[in-house]
Amino acid sequence: MNMKPNIPQNNDMANEGFLNGDVVVFTDPIKPGHLMTVHKVQGDGVLLDGNHNFALSHLVRHANVAELGAKRRLTAVEMAMGEVS
Protein backbone atom coordinates (compact mmCIF):
# COMPACT_ATOMS: atom_id res chain seq x y z
CA MET A 1 0.00 0.00 0.00
CA ASN A 2 1.30 3.50 -0.92
CA MET A 3 1.29 5.73 2.19
CA LYS A 4 2.96 8.68 0.48
CA PRO A 5 0.99 11.91 1.07
CA ASN A 6 -0.44 13.69 -1.96
CA ILE A 7 0.58 17.26 -1.10
CA PRO A 8 1.07 19.72 -3.97
CA GLN A 9 4.46 21.40 -4.13
CA ASN A 10 4.51 25.16 -4.72
CA ASN A 11 7.94 26.10 -6.07
CA ASP A 12 6.98 29.78 -6.09
CA MET A 13 7.10 29.76 -2.28
CA ALA A 14 10.48 28.01 -2.06
CA ASN A 15 13.85 29.75 -2.24
CA GLU A 16 14.05 32.25 0.57
CA GLY A 17 10.42 33.26 0.13
CA PHE A 18 10.84 34.80 -3.31
CA LEU A 19 7.70 35.24 -5.39
CA ASN A 20 7.14 36.28 -8.99
CA GLY A 21 7.25 40.08 -9.14
CA ASP A 22 9.52 40.57 -6.10
CA VAL A 23 12.18 43.25 -6.48
CA VAL A 24 15.64 42.02 -5.50
CA VAL A 25 19.29 43.07 -5.48
CA PHE A 26 22.53 41.10 -5.42
CA THR A 27 24.06 40.70 -1.96
CA ASP A 28 27.63 40.95 -3.33
CA PRO A 29 28.78 44.59 -3.72
CA ILE A 30 30.96 43.56 -6.67
CA LYS A 31 27.86 42.50 -8.65
CA PRO A 32 25.69 45.06 -10.47
CA GLY A 33 23.68 47.25 -8.09
CA HIS A 34 20.51 47.78 -10.10
CA LEU A 35 17.12 46.52 -9.00
CA MET A 36 15.86 43.32 -10.61
CA THR A 37 12.41 41.74 -10.74
CA VAL A 38 11.85 38.04 -10.09
CA HIS A 39 10.28 36.54 -13.21
CA LYS A 40 10.10 32.94 -11.98
CA VAL A 41 11.34 30.84 -9.08
CA GLN A 42 13.14 27.79 -10.46
CA GLY A 43 14.99 25.10 -8.54
CA ASP A 44 17.45 26.75 -6.15
CA GLY A 45 17.46 30.02 -8.08
CA VAL A 46 15.37 32.76 -9.65
CA LEU A 47 14.92 33.96 -13.20
CA LEU A 48 15.20 37.74 -13.27
CA ASP A 49 14.03 40.60 -15.45
CA GLY A 50 11.72 38.78 -17.82
CA ASN A 51 13.85 35.63 -17.98
CA HIS A 52 17.03 37.48 -19.08
CA ASN A 53 19.17 36.60 -16.03
CA PHE A 54 19.44 33.75 -13.54
CA ALA A 55 20.76 33.95 -9.98
CA LEU A 56 21.02 31.42 -7.20
CA SER A 57 18.64 32.35 -4.39
CA HIS A 58 21.38 32.80 -1.80
CA LEU A 59 23.04 35.49 -3.97
CA VAL A 60 20.08 37.88 -3.96
CA ARG A 61 17.86 39.47 -1.34
CA HIS A 62 14.69 41.54 -1.33
CA ALA A 63 15.32 45.23 -1.97
CA ASN A 64 14.39 47.39 1.02
CA VAL A 65 12.21 50.52 0.91
CA ALA A 66 15.19 52.91 0.71
CA GLU A 67 16.62 50.95 -2.21
CA LEU A 68 13.28 51.01 -4.00
CA GLY A 69 13.25 54.80 -3.62
CA ALA A 70 16.86 55.13 -4.78
CA LYS A 71 16.25 52.63 -7.61
CA ARG A 72 19.50 50.82 -6.79
CA ARG A 73 21.24 48.73 -4.11
CA LEU A 74 22.57 50.93 -1.31
CA THR A 75 26.10 50.55 -0.01
CA ALA A 76 26.73 49.38 3.55
CA VAL A 77 27.76 52.93 4.49
CA GLU A 78 24.56 54.40 3.02
CA MET A 79 22.49 51.83 4.87
CA ALA A 80 24.28 52.58 8.16
CA MET A 81 23.87 56.34 7.74
CA GLY A 82 20.34 56.17 6.36
CA GLU A 83 21.32 58.33 3.40
CA VAL A 84 19.94 57.97 -0.11
CA SER A 85 21.34 59.94 -3.01
Question: What type of residue sits at position 84?
Answer: V
Q: Is residue 22 part of a domain?
A: yes
Q: Is residue 9 part of a domain?
A: no
Under 8 Å between Cβ of 75 and 54: no
Q: Is residue 73 part of a domain?
A: yes
pLDDT tens per residue, range 26-84: 999 999 999 999 999 998 999 999 878 999 999 999 999 999 999 999 998 888 887 55
Q: Is residue 57 part of a domain?
A: yes
Q: Is residue 42 part of a domain?
A: yes
The tally of domains found in the chain comes to: 1
Residue 81 class from Cβ within 10 Å (0-12 exposed, 13-18 middle, 19+ buried)?
A: exposed
Q: Is residue 59 part of a domain?
A: yes
CATH of the domain at 65: 2.30.30
Q: Is residue 31 part of a domain?
A: yes
User: Domain range holding 52?
Assistant: 16-81
Predicted TM-score (pTM) above 0.85: no
